[in-house]
Structure formats: structure tokens, C-alpha cells
Structure 1
Amino acid sequence: MSHLDYEINKELGECYLFMGELDKAEDYYKKAAGSNGVHPDPYIGLATIAVQRGEYDDAMSLYEKAHSVEVTDKSHAGMGLIQMETSRQEEAFTNFSEALSLNPGNMVALFGIIRIGHECEKVAEAAPYLERFLEISPEKHEVRYSLAGLYICMDEKEKAVEQLEMILEMDPSNESAKELLDQI
């Protein structure tokens, strides 16, 4: 099978996955995986399908397979997501951290690290990942708002106020930022 066949099958897999047609997506990802074993993407696609079906063990082995082909932020984030859903927060935190060191903009890993930060009292460890993300995408208010929340948990109210004021500077009608600022 040619590289073009691989690309077409991978694209079709992504389209069907996006439309929620898991069986068709799975067929095309399997074709793509069979055509050219040097790409992690089909395995990540198949893992995503397994997660949506609640088949966490299958998903985990598919992410590991993708990982063995090429270590990417997506495979780290995927494994972290499964670990988080199966109450393995420490391992999940490590995978999310790895994902964010490869790609500071990986939203799955970012929101995972925020959640675990709160659940496992690791807010101080989570905050630098949000700070790094905001250096790249300063206009992402939901991340800045989450960072303010982490600062409040760390009892660093001045830093929280600073973040909320930055949101309101860019978006004066942001109600949740106003409310949190009033609470502080």
C-alpha cells in the first residue's frame, strides 16, 4: 500500500471519528495502520475510539503501541486520560506533564493537569504548565481563569487578582472573572 493510501485511510478515519461513526472510523484506521506501520496516528485514532467505547485496557495498549512507534504529546495525553479515569492520578499527572513538555498547547493534558492539581493537592506543581501555556496563548481566558483558581488554592491572592484583571482587561464582560474577583 502506498503512502497516499495511508494518508487517505487516515483522513477518512479522522472524518468518521469526528462524525461519531466509530465503526467506520475503526475500519479506516485499521487499514491505515496495516498499510504503513511507521506512523502513530492510526493507533491514536483507534485508541480514541476505544476510549469512547469505555474500553480502557484496549485504549491503553493502543496508546502504548503508538508510543512505541513515536513518542508524541498525543500518546502521553491519551495514556494520562485513561489513568485519570481509572484513578491512577500520579501516573496520569506524569503523562500529562510529559505531554506538555513536548507540546505546551496540548489542551487534553492541560485540563487533565488542572483537574488532578485540584483533586490531589498538586496545585503548585500544576501552575507552571498553565503559566507556560499562557506565554504562548495569552488570550485563552479559560486557562487564565483556571490559573487564578490554582493561585487561590495556593493562597497567592495577589497573583490570582492579577490574572483575573488581565482577563477583564481583554474581556470586560467576563462574568466568571468578575465573580471570582469579587469573592477574593
Structure 2
Amino acid sequence: MSGHLDYEINKELGECYLFMGELDKAEEYYKKAVGSNGVHPDPYLGLATVAVQRGDLNDAEIMYRKAHKIEPSDKSLSGIGLIRMENGDKEEAFTLFVEAIGMNPENMVALFSLIRLGHELNRLGEIIPHLENYLEIDPAKHEVRYSLAGCLVCAGQTEAAAKQLEIILEKDPEHNAAKEMLEQIRS
């Protein structure tokens, strides 16, 4: 069997077992994939996910970093970012998530982690442009627009926030959270 086919099959099996929650089997096939053909980031991302599910964050970070060395991606960056955030390195995590969004503006893990860190680190002003970029790609994503409105309120830009909330309510008149925030701004 050719090396590449071997690699694909092992990677697929790893993904199937991971999806079914069979971590030992998943790990076994990802390790075979790592050994079967050349150097690919995917099996390391898989092994990182297995480690995260086992609660072994150190091992997960090692695997994410290996994947990142082979081929930097928003997935490896946001993976490392999540672990740094868990470990309390919020500043470093913030930087990693910004880098991840630079590579893929639609990375929801990075986006929502940035919103959380923005609040915790008082850096909401910095994440507003990233939320705006995302909404240019996917304007119908109300939760991102609602978060943007929240950030704008915190940044003292209440008029801009009200505009965002009106866009949500135009499309979804029953959006109660948006209604409440708008009432608070207007009162």
C-alpha cells in the first residue's frame, strides 16, 4: 500500500474514533498516521485533541506546537492559545488568538476567546476591529454582532453600539438580549 494512502486511512480512522470518543483507538491511528508518510500537521492536531479530552494539557500543547512547526495554522495557534488561557497566561493567549484570526477571520474559538480575554484584560478596544472583520464575512451571525455591541458600549461608543443592535433587531425582532441592551443605551 502506498505511503500516502496509508496516511489518509490512518488519519481518517483517527478522526472516526475521536468522534466516537474512543481516545485510545484514536491515539493509536493518529500515531500510525504520524509514522506513515512524510510530515503532516493533522495527526498532531488530532493527538492534541485527544490529550485535551484526557485533560493532559502539557501533552496537548506539545502536539499543537509540533503541528505548528510543520505548518502554522489558525488551528494550532488557537489550540496553544486555549491552553495558555487555561494556564493563566492571558496576555500570551490574547496574542496567539489575534494571530489565529489574522490567518482565519472566521475562527470562532479564537474570536470568542478574544472577547472573553478582552473583558478580563480591559483590551476590548483592540478586539472591535476583529469582530467587524468577521461580520463583513458573515453579517448574519447575531452573537458576534451582539458581542461587538457590548464591546462598543464598554468602549463608550454607545451610538455605534445602538446601530449594531438595530441591525440585529431588524433581522430578528425577538432578540431579547439585543432589545434589553438597546433599552439600557437609550434610557
Measure how far apart 1:18 and its partner are.
Answer: 2.1
Measure how far apart 1:28 and its partner are.
Answer: 1.5
Q: Structure 1: which 4+ aligned runs deviate by more than 6 Å?
A: none
Taking the aligned partners of 1:130 and 1:144, their CA distance within structure 2 comes to 8
RMSD of Structure 2 on Structure 1 (CA): 1.1
Specify the alignment match of 1:82 in structure 2.
83
Please state if 1:95 is matched with 2:75.
no
Letter in 1 for 2:113: G
Specify the alignment match of 1:30 in structure 2.
31
Measure how far apart 1:32 and its partner are.
Answer: 1.1
Q: TM-score, normalised by structure 1?
A: 0.96
Measure how far apart 1:19 and its partner are.
Answer: 2.4
Please state if 1:152 is matched with 2:153.
yes
Letter in 1 for 2:168: I
Q: TM-score, normalised by structure 2?
A: 0.94
In the superposition, relative to structure 1, how do residues 18 and 183 fare at CA in structure 2: closer, same or farther (>3 Å)?
farther
Taking the aligned partners of 1:95 and 1:154, their CA distance within structure 2 comes to 23
Taking the aligned partners of 2:171 and 2:36, their CA distance within structure 1 comes to 48
User: Aligned runs of 1:14-163 on 2, under 5 Å?
Assistant: 14-163=15-164
Taking the aligned partners of 2:38 and 2:146, their CA distance within structure 1 comes to 41
Letter in 1 for 2:159: E
Deviations 1:119-140 (A, max 9, x none): 1001011111111111101111
Letter in 2 for 1:83: R
Deviations 1:12-64 (A, max 9, x none): 22222222222221111111111124210110111111112221111111111
Specify the alignment match of 2:167 in structure 1.
166
Q: Paired residues, what number?
A: 184
Is the CA contact (8 Å cut-off) linking 2:6 and 2:37 kept in structure 1?
A: no
Taking the aligned partners of 2:31 and 2:184, their CA distance within structure 1 comes to 52
Larger Rg: 2
Identity of aligned residues (%): 65
Measure how far apart 1:93 and its partner are.
Answer: 0.7
Task: Mark the runs of 5 or more structure 1 residues left unpaired by the alignment.
Answer: none
